[in-house]
Amino acid sequence: MKLSAKCRYGTRAMIEIARNEKNGPVKRKVIVQAQEISRAYLENILISLKMSKLIRTVRGANGGFVLEKRPSAINLFQIVLSLEGTMSPVECLDNRTICEKWDCCAVRKAWAKLYDAQKSALKGMTLQDLLDMDSTEAAADYVI
């Protein structure tokens, strides 16, 4: 499975929002600068994340973007699904009616195992886990 740039950038945007949530809503400009994502591309990403109810917009002079839930309650699978649409390696896992061999296809069973493993791995990692990894790596780079 290869994740799209939209998914990679969207995950980075979610990390940026989570990282700055203590300071209030995160402005689009902060995400653009910190994550080096073009403003136009980020706009499409934020729309997908809002439609999936992972983030919401706060209006006004001090407005911006906030998470809908705590970082520990948002897993990577939710983010990826929001930005990719599906994670299924083959169409027949999402729609069994497209293949007449669905019931007896050994290869489909292999793809289903792959999909289940990916889903399990991504569901087992939260946005908080990513933040913790990020702060751990930053601390490891500290030199006196």
In the chain, where the domains are located: 5-140
5-140 under CATH 1.10.3720.10, yes or no? no
Mean pLDDT, rounded, for 116-136: 91
Give the model's confidence band at 88: pLDDT under 50 very low, under 70 low, under 90 confident, else very high.
Answer: confident
Do 19 and 133 meet the contact criterion of CB atoms below 8 Å apart? no
Distance CA 105, CA 88 (A): 16
Residue 142 has pLDDT above 70, yes or no: no
- The helix (run of H) or strand (run of E) holding residue 143 is none
What pLDDT is attached to residue 138? 54
Cβ count within 10 A of residue 8: 14
